[in-house]
Amino acid sequence: MALPSHAEIVVIGGGIIGCSTAYHLARDHKADVLLIEQGKLTSGSTWHAAGLVGQLRSSASITQLLKYSVDLYKQLSTETGLETGWKMTGCLRLATNADRWTEFKRLATTAQSFGMDMHLVSPEEVKRMWPLMDVSDLVGASWLPTDGQASPSDIAQSLAKGARMHGAKIVEGVRVTGFDTDDGRITAVHTTDGVVVCDKVVNCGGQWARQIGAMAGIEVPLQPVKHQYVITERIEGLSSDAPTIRDPDRRTYFKEEVGGLVMGGYEPNPQAWTLGDVPDDFQFQLFPDDWDHFEQHMEQAVARIPALAETGVKQMINGPESFTPDGNFILGRAPECSNMYVGAGFNAFGIASGGGAGWALAAWVVRNEAPLDLWVVDINRFSDLHRDRQWVCDRTLEAYGKHYTVAFPHEEHESGRPRLVSPLYDKLKARRAVFGSKLGWERPNWFAPDGMEPTDVYSMGRQNWFGAVGEEHRLVREKVGIFDQSSFAKFELKGRDAAAALETICANRVAREPGRLTYTQMLNSRGGIECDLTVARLSDDLFYIVTGTGFRTHDGGWIRDHLPTGGEAALVDVTEEFGTLSLMGPRARDVLEKVTDADVSNAAFPFGHVRVIDIAGQPVRALRVTYVGELGWELHAPLAGLGAVFETLMEAGEPFGIAPVGYRALESLRLEKGYRAWGSDITPNDTPFEAGLGWAVKLKSNADFVGREAVAKIAAAPLKKRLMTFTVDDPLVVLLGRETILRDGEFAGYLSSGGYGYTIGKPIGLGYVRRSQGVTDDWLEAGTYELVVAKERVKASLHMGPLYDPEGARVKS
């Protein structure tokens, strides 16, 4: 068909994601959609994808999208008349060692939490289900019966036909060459066949998505990686409904195809394709067969399925797939442009994700807001760091190489480090800090005592840092500790209308008198929590906003997007202008008053206030706030002067036992106090009232704010879920989050985060207890609770409030 001159929404790319997005835009939202494909539909990477469809991920929302994909593929042919090749064969994941088996037990518990039925089966049962397999080295396997396989090209073509049936226009053989933009918005798309005026653009360009985005000044951090698999000749005795196999300890996967097998893997030494642009004409093309590189998979595959030694290979597929630095795909509106959305970087599970990702992206495009908590795939999780193509490539290859390794808790990436460091990096390293990395920043996780190697030793149980972190925890509870939190994202909102603007965005009242600070959330239209931050008013027209390291792009973008138009209020990112030292513990005031002439008494400097004080000749923004449940201040100093402030505090604190403390202790301290963490305990799916933060919502005022209508309705009705604290008595139980909550033996929710409380001497978890009829105090207190931890039921106690207060009170046992 001819290229139209106007479309409401232009989708770029005719792979499975583009076709799915166009289909859902047309079917669900009756949008005027034009899909532009530079070659033929599926000609990028969709046509050569292996087609395995798994559903379980560590995120409930992403699991929900994958389950949606399966449901869609089951019935799509009925609507369009084009088959998708969907077969619900189930999937076996094989375990050959104790760590993997523990991982699978935890996965099976996660599956239960997310409403899926994953079984753990014996080697004998695996042999019965897959007679051609050698099971002599197996501990067991997980079995998810609703997983399966499909034909990638057939699904995409069926979605494309469905899109056309609902009114979408699809044009092939037309390449996008550029964009017209005006004030940060795309107004038209330039192509080889003319110009299309449009309202919104959706970049589903696959391996070309990065360079398509670059035409509009947008960074899409993905890396094409060569991924190989083979298709064998027929194998005698192989059932046509044989389950798909994932053999992670041998780094391989298998699926049945026309009596033979598709077999591929994820090697520890992957091969990137290019750091430059992908050629426009690389369509329906493959790389030359690389048997030398693939030999490592062949050896492992033959050991697992001996019949392969006598089976011929019909074809090798060696093609590029788009991978990302963290192994999660990319969805959402690009921060650099107010009307370009992205769906790309699917890490070789684009087929499994395609249906659900297209549904979510279509809703996001129409509503200008994600339909559920999609933070783990949101493009706003990245930062300017991800403009460095070499860094993205190095980190992506590491993530690819770990695709099938055991997912140890708290495991850190190793590539591209150190990248961003605070001025204290060398000082803390000399004090035996063990660093982690967050959005490129090096941050001390813990400090190794003398005689102990300063390095993480990963395990599925208690890890080597457990005792050392306990000592740091006790230091903060009993004396005083100092945290380097310079990686915090920091903003200033300036202007005559800054106070009024923040009042329309924030759920809490923030336009207090200068010198006050407020803990607040920012809500979406569903009343869900989009941002969780601190707002300090420094003067009538200047506010200082502090949020988490990883939320810099997201929170800054959310604020800018929701500033009222026409007002005088400008947001400025000042993250690199200030370093942050958190001075926390019962002796914090004793230390602080020795280094400043300012009055830091409780009367002069109460909780919830901010003052600019002088320390070591530096003007320090001191915020009286805590995330650990103790007396304390966040001290925000000019970055260049942070070293002097640190040394002054350390010298003054020596009589009180001061020492630097890491993020792992911070986590245990905040769990004891019941402080919430955004991204786990509070998300865009959760409202303040459900999270126990209703006190921070200004519903009693007449002020309007984003999300007020939705959150008012939720507050007025019985709450269907509430965030509670749980403890277990067995100190050896390891809680990580996603463990199932049982009330009187029945499913009642799952943990959102977990850890250990050293002061109370018990494992702690936070999690939402759910009940469709409503969750009341009486109902909560009447129940008997257990947690399912790695498939084991453990008796648990529910607590209605924090486990610790600064006076040292303990919770009832």
Query: Is the CB of residue 761 less than 8 Å from the CB of residue 126?
Result: no
Residue 205 to residue 272: CA distance in whole angstroms: 18
Residue located via tokens 């999300």: 707
Q: What is the pTM of this model?
A: 0.95
Give the 3-state secondary structure of residue 751: strand
Residue 373 to residue 59: CA distance in whole angstroms: 9
Question: Is the pLDDT score of 295 beyond 80?
Answer: yes
Query: Is the Cα torsion angle 290, 295, 300, 304 positive or negative in sign?
Result: positive
Q: Which two tokens stand for residue 89?
A: 């064969």
pLDDT at res. 629 = 94
List CB contacts of 713: < 8 A, sequence separation 6 or more.
Answer: 527
Domains within the chain, CATH numbers bracketed: 6-84+150-223+326-381 (3.50.50.60), 91-146+224-315 (3.30.9.10), 578-657 (3.30.1360.120), 681-799 (2.40.30.110)
Assign 51 a pLDDT band (cuts: 50, 70, 90): confident
pLDDT at res. 809 = 42
Residue 781 to residue 765: CA distance in whole angstroms: 17
Torsion of CA 758, 759, 761, 767, to 10 degrees: -80
Assign 341 a pLDDT band (cuts: 50, 70, 90): very high
Average pLDDT value over all residues in the chain: 96
Per residue in 603-639, pLDDT (tens digit) is 999 999 999 999 999 999 999 999 999 999 999 999 9
Residue 261 dihedral angles phi and psi, to the nearest 5°: -125, 145
The stretches of 603-697 forming alpha helices (DSSP H) are 642-653, 663-673
pLDDT at res. 361 = 98
pLDDT at res. 53 = 86
Per residue in 401-429, pLDDT (tens digit) is 999 999 999 999 999 999 999 999 999 99
As a whole-number percent, the residues of the chain with pLDDT over 90 amount to 93
Query: Is the CB of residue 59 less than 8 Å from the CB of residue 378?
Result: no
Residue 447 to residue 277: CA distance in whole angstroms: 43
Residue 71 to residue 87: CA distance in whole angstroms: 12
Question: Is the pLDDT score of 812 beyond 70?
Answer: no
Query: Is the Cα torsion angle 248, 249, 250, 254 positive or negative in sign?
Result: negative
Question: Is the pLDDT score of 800 beyond 60?
Answer: yes
Per residue in 453-501, pLDDT (tens digit) is 999 999 999 999 999 999 999 999 999 999 999 999 999 999 999 999 9
Question: Is the pLDDT score of 810 beyond 50?
Answer: no
pLDDT at res. 806 = 67
Question: Is the pLDDT score of 281 beyond 60?
Answer: yes
Amino acid code (one letter) for 482: I
Residue 736 to residue 113: CA distance in whole angstroms: 13
Per residue in 663-714, pLDDT (tens digit) is 999 999 999 999 999 999 999 999 999 999 999 999 999 899 999 999 999 9
For 571, half-sphere exposure in the C-beta direction (CA atoms, 13 angstrom radius) is: 22
Peptide bond into 418 cis (omega under 30): yes
- Mean pLDDT calculated for residue range 720-738: 97
Question: Is the pLDDT score of 808 beyond 70?
Answer: no
Question: Is the pLDDT score of 807 beyond 70?
Answer: no
- Mean pLDDT calculated for residue range 753-760: 97
- Mean pLDDT calculated for residue range 182-210: 97
Question: Is the pLDDT score of 811 beyond 60?
Answer: no
Question: Is the pLDDT score of 49 beyond 90?
Answer: no
Residue 393 dihedral angles phi and psi, to the nearest 5°: -65, -50
Q: Which two tokens stand for residue 539?
A: 């003067």
Amino acid code (one letter) for 417: R
- Mean pLDDT calculated for residue range 6-16: 97
Per residue in 528-543, pLDDT (tens digit) is 999 999 999 999 999 9
Residue located via tokens 């991924």: 227
Question: Is the pLDDT score of 581 beyond 90?
Answer: yes
Per residue in 552-561, pLDDT (tens digit) is 999 999 999 9
For 172, half-sphere exposure in the C-beta direction (CA atoms, 13 angstrom radius) is: 12
Query: Is the CB of residue 221 less than 8 Å from the CB of residue 315?
Result: no
pLDDT at res. 356 = 96
